[in-house]
A = this chain, B = another copy of it.
Amino acid sequence: MNIGEAAKASGVSAKMIRYYESTGLIPTAGRTGSGYRVYSDTEVQMLRFIRRSRDLGFPVEKIEELLALWRDRSRHSADVKRLAQEQIDGLERKINEMRAMKETLQHLADACCGDQRPDCPILADLGSGPTTMNGDAGARGRQRRQPEPHRAAE
């Protein structure tokens, strides 16, 4: 099977198949006399595995681990489950971040009348301090650098 056919069969683009090979995620494919890459069913199955893992959001780095477990017939399913759980947790974290953004924006947008007038709480918020904070604006003073005796946080 040529790379194009393997791509169609696996859902991974030819470009990415070559890339995965170059990074060592998949072993170097066999070649015909003229240099064309050749793929077997087994290799296509591995590509499908990769594709599916990507669809679930796994970074290639993690897919490397998943593939290793996949091939390892004496694996512990606990290791697989751990990887999955980490991925779930990562997704959860990102979802929460985005939900927070969305909610903030939603509040702002709800408060914006959205007509021809220029007054806009969205811009007002963006233009104000971080998180509608204190009037600390006065602190960004004129002089260049205070001695700054100690600075724990940042």
- A57 partner residues in chain B, CB cutoff 8 A: 98, 101
Specify which of B55, B95, B120, B145 is in contact with A102 (CB 8 Å cutoff).
B95
| Contacts A98-B94, A109-B88; A69 near B9 (Cβ below 8 A) | no
- A45 partner residues in chain B, CB cutoff 8 A: 127
Measured between alpha carbons, how far is A37 from B93 in the docked complex, in Å? 38
Check B109 against A5 for contact (C-beta < 8 Å). no
Specify which of B53, B106, B140 is in contact with A88 (CB 8 Å cutoff).
B106
A106's nearest neighbour on chain B, judged by CB, is B88
The copy count of this chain in the complex is 2
Check B49 against A113 for contact (C-beta < 8 Å). no
Measured between alpha carbons, how far is A51 from B53 in the docked complex, in Å? 33
- A139 partner residues in chain B, CB cutoff 8 A: 9
| Contacts A48-B130, A113-B77, A129-B48; A84 near B102 (Cβ below 8 A) | no
Residue from the set A113, A123, A139 with the largest chain B CB neighbour count within 10 Å: A123
A4 vs chain B, min Cβ distance (A):
8
A53's nearest neighbour on chain B, judged by CB, is B126
Measured between alpha carbons, how far is A129 from B85 in the docked complex, in Å? 22
Measured between alpha carbons, how far is A113 from B76 in the docked complex, in Å? 10
Check B126 against A49 for contact (C-beta < 8 Å). yes
